[in-house]
Amino acid sequence: MFIGVFDIGGTSIKYGVVNENGEVISKFQEPTEAKQGGEYIIEKLIELSHKLIEQWPLDGLGVSTAGQVNSQTGEIVYATDNIPNYTGINVAERLREAVGLNVSVENDVNSMAIAESWYGAAQDVGNFICIALGTGIGGAAYTDGQLYTGSRFSAGEFGHILLYPNGRTCTCGQYGCYEQYASTLALKRAVSDYYNTDTDLEDFFDRLKAGSQQEQQIYEDWLENVALGLASIIHVINPNRVIIGGAISAQGEFLSSRIQGKLEKKLLHNHKTKLDVVCSRFGNDSNLIGAAKHYLNQYY
Ligand SMILES: [Zn+2]
């Protein structure tokens, strides 16, 4: 069976074909042009769907997207102004009407968690959290083998934990949110501020691994903030595993073991005895794989 899959992010739309075993058969990427708004994205999805349908005998479409999603109906229940006028659009309904296939829709970090639970970094645990570090911080939690969605499909907004009251202004309108200190954008800002010039995070990690002391201090401070927010989440959920997602997860153990080390001093005994921190198994493909699994769960 072939499932057409989409991963709609703030900067790019990844799309392709995944089979019923979760193998990525084919994948492509396009800029989202998010500022053009929700309707523009729907038009683009329809166009890309037709492109996939011409090449593959698709059973249906699975969509992973930024924003809070009613995963039963496929409606965007809330999206920030990163994608204007996206809130309220029923992505599943619009796509189904346009292409005549079954469509499922799920939030992006939830999709990642579904993929990791299926046959990735969380296949052997029922209690785990995923934290996606990027421009902001997204989250998802599995408790007793089930994805926790909350009453309005809006659980897991880890990025807006208030870490420092009256701190930095956040895109949500509050001050001092976790993502203003521990996202990869926050790390990039800290590095750029230090050097007084726009700096690439890949260059940063190269210098860090080469032993630069300045980079070491910036990394330590950032890791401290990552662990500070995580400690609160871990104390609430009591997971066996924390899975790091986002492009930075390519750093692997260089990132995960340092976060685990920082957590040691911040957690109660029972919260750390059976806890490990790892990076996503599927990296950039996790949302596509999770979108396919969500589709299978919904229709089979
Ligand atoms: Zn916020």
- Please state, in angstroms and rounded to a whole number, the distance separating the CA atoms of residues 207 and 228: 25
Query: CATH number of 123-280: 1.10.565.10, 3.30.420.40, 3.20.10.10, 2.40.50.110?
Result: 3.30.420.40
Q: Is 5 exposed, middle or buried (0-12, 13-18, 19+ CB in 10 A)?
A: buried
Q: What is the pLDDT along the chain (300 residues), one digit of tens a residue?
A: 999 999 999 889 999 999 999 999 999 999 999 999 999 999 999 999 999 999 999 999 999 999 999 999 999 999 988 899 999 999 999 999 999 999 999 999 999 999 999 999 999 999 999 999 999 999 999 999 999 999 999 999 999 999 999 999 998 999 999 999 999 999 999 999 998 888 889 999 999 999 989 999 999 999 999 999 999 999 999 999 999 999 999 999 999 999 999 999 999 999 999 999 999 999 999 999 999 999 999 999
Ligand 1 centroid to Cα of residue 96, in Å, is 34
Ligand 1 centroid to Cα of residue 159, in Å, is 6
Ligand 1 centroid to Cα of residue 286, in Å, is 25
Based on C-alpha coordinates, what's the Rg of the chain? 19
Ligand 1 centroid to Cα of residue 169, in Å, is 8
Q: Which CATH architecture has domain 2-112?
A: 2-Layer Sandwich (3.30)
Ligand 1 centroid to Cα of residue 168, in Å, is 9
Ligand 1 centroid to Cα of residue 22, in Å, is 34
HEC string of the chain equals CEEEEEEECCCEEEEEEEECCCCEEEEEEEECCHHHCHHHHHHHHHHHHHHHHHHCCEEEEEEEECCEEECCCCEEEECCCCCCCCCCCEHHHHHHHHHCCEEEEEEHHHHHHHHHHHHCCCCCCCCEEEEEECCCEEEEEEECCEECCCCCCCCCCHHHCECCCCCCECCCCCECECHHHHCHHHHHHHHHHHHCCCCCHHHHHHHHHCCCHHHHHHHHHHHHHHHHHHHHHHHHHCCCEEEEECHHHHHCHHHHHHHHHHHHCCCCHHHHHCCEEEECCCHHHHHHHHHHHHHHHHHC
Question: pLDDT tens digit string along 175-208?
Answer: 999 999 999 999 999 999 998 888 889 999 999 9
Ligand 1 centroid to Cα of residue 2, in Å, is 38
What per-residue confidence (pLDDT) applies to 212? 87
Ligand 1 centroid to Cα of residue 82, in Å, is 13
Ligand 1 centroid to Cα of residue 174, in Å, is 5
What per-residue confidence (pLDDT) applies to 81? 85
Same fold, 2-112 and 123-280: yes
For the chain, which residues make up each domain, given as ranges?
Answer: 2-112, 123-280
What per-residue confidence (pLDDT) applies to 199? 85
Could you give the angle at which helices 184-195 and 201-209 cross, rounded to 10 degrees?
A: 70
Q: Is the dihedral of CA 161, 183, 272, 147 positive or negative?
A: positive
Angle at 117 between CA 111 and CA 119, to 5 degrees: 105
Question: pLDDT tens digit string along 275-294?
Answer: 999 999 999 999 999 999 99
> Which residues lie near ion ligand 1 (Cβ < 5 Å)?
160, 170, 172, 174, 177
What per-residue confidence (pLDDT) applies to 138? 96
Ligand 1 centroid to Cα of residue 180, in Å, is 8
Q: Which of 123, 116, 115, 108 is nearest to 18 (CA)?
A: 115
| Whether ipTM exceeds 0.90 | yes
Ligand 1 centroid to Cα of residue 177, in Å, is 5
Ligand 1 centroid to Cα of residue 191, in Å, is 21
**What single letter denotes the amino acid at residue 169?**
T
Ligand 1 centroid to Cα of residue 274, in Å, is 30
Ligand 1 centroid to Cα of residue 137, in Å, is 10
Ligand 1 centroid to Cα of residue 160, in Å, is 4
- Please state, in angstroms and rounded to a whole number, the distance separating the CA atoms of residues 174 and 163: 11
